[in-house]
Amino acid sequence: LLKRGSKGVYVLSKEYTGEIPAYLVENVIDTTGAGDAFASGFITGILRGYTLRKAVQYGNAVAALKIKKLGSHQVPPHDEVVEFIWEREQG
């Protein structure tokens, strides 16, 4: 995985190779901890049994929600992340 900030993540693996875009976020408040938020979201996705691609999307969503809040420890709960992803997939 190569984290590319607002450009998303480049993935190179046997399962999937390619770009997974970041989620567009309006009203960015604080990007401190966004990389850590992505990493924790990605690991959470893997532990939940998500595919590699879905785990990266989950990590991207966690980071996107984190940067809308002040502080490096503002990681959203699972339900909020799932709703965020679902809303964008319906869009």
Tell me the average pLDDT across 70-76: 86
Question: Which range is least confidently modeled, 22-31, 43-52, 66-75, 79-88?
Answer: 66-75
Tell me the average pLDDT across 68-91: 91
Tell me the average pLDDT across 65-70: 95
Q: How large is the C-alpha radius of gyration of the chain?
A: 12
Q: Say how many residues make up the chain.
A: 91
The catalytic position among 25, 31, 32, 36 is 36
For residue 68, the tally of other CB atoms under 10 A from its CB is 15
Q: Over 90: is that where the pLDDT of 72 sits?
A: no
Q: What pLDDT does residue 73 have?
A: 82
Encoded amino acid at 88, one letter: R
pTM here is 0.93
Q: Is 30 an active-site residue?
A: no
